[in-house]
Structure formats: structure tokens, C-alpha cells
Amino acid sequence: MTENMINTILSAAPADTPVVTVEAAELLNACKALKEDEKLRFDYLMCLSGVDYKEYFEVVYHLYSMRHGRKVAVKVKLSHEKPEVDSVSSVWKSA
């Protein structure tokens, strides 16, 4: 999770849902940071979905911070040839 991504999240109005895109290899670390960072504390996985676009797949994680009242959507693009991403169930049991 880069400082730029954190600033994007923190600068959004609470009613907005900022979107950050991460590489599949960085997903688990990014999700841990989103949950554990005191400024963020995204402790609730609201929705986990997959989208099949013509060129690629996309996995979307909609998160909510109960402490800060903020939302964020985390997106991961995956190729049709290798549609694999690490599970985030170690971060959020609802995954």
C-alpha cells in the first residue's frame, strides 16, 4: 500500500467510495495494511465480487471502516490465462 493510495483514501469525502487498484501479487499485503493501519482500519469486508470483462477479469473488494466511517473499493485485474489471486480470508473471515 503506497502513500499515494492512502492519501487517495483519506482525502475522499466520507460518503464517497475511492477506488484503488493493486497488483495481484500485492493484494494480501495491501489488504493487511488497509485493515491494520490506524488511519484506515478497514475492518469490514462488505462485498467481494468478480467481473468478467472481454480483456480481463477483475476482483473487487468493497471495504468499510467502522471506526472512521469510510469506504474503499480495492480492485485487482487478472488475465484470462491466469485468473488467480491470494485469498484474503486470513484478513477478513467473511471472505
Task: Record the pTM.
Answer: 0.89
Residue-wise pLDDT tens digits, 46-68:
999 999 999 999 999 999 999 99
Is the pLDDT reported for residue 95 higher than 80? yes
pLDDT score for 14: 67
Backbone angle region of 3, left / alpha / beta, with phi > 0 → left and psi within -120 to 50 → alpha: alpha
Residues 6+ apart with CB under 8 A from 69: 14
What percent of the chain is predicted at pLDDT more than 70? 98
Is the pLDDT reported for residue 91 higher than 90? yes
- Report the 10 Å Cβ neighbour count for 38: 7
Please report which confidence band the pLDDT of residue 27 belongs to, taking 50, 70 and 90 as the band edges: very high
Residues 6+ apart with CB under 8 A from 39: 6, 10
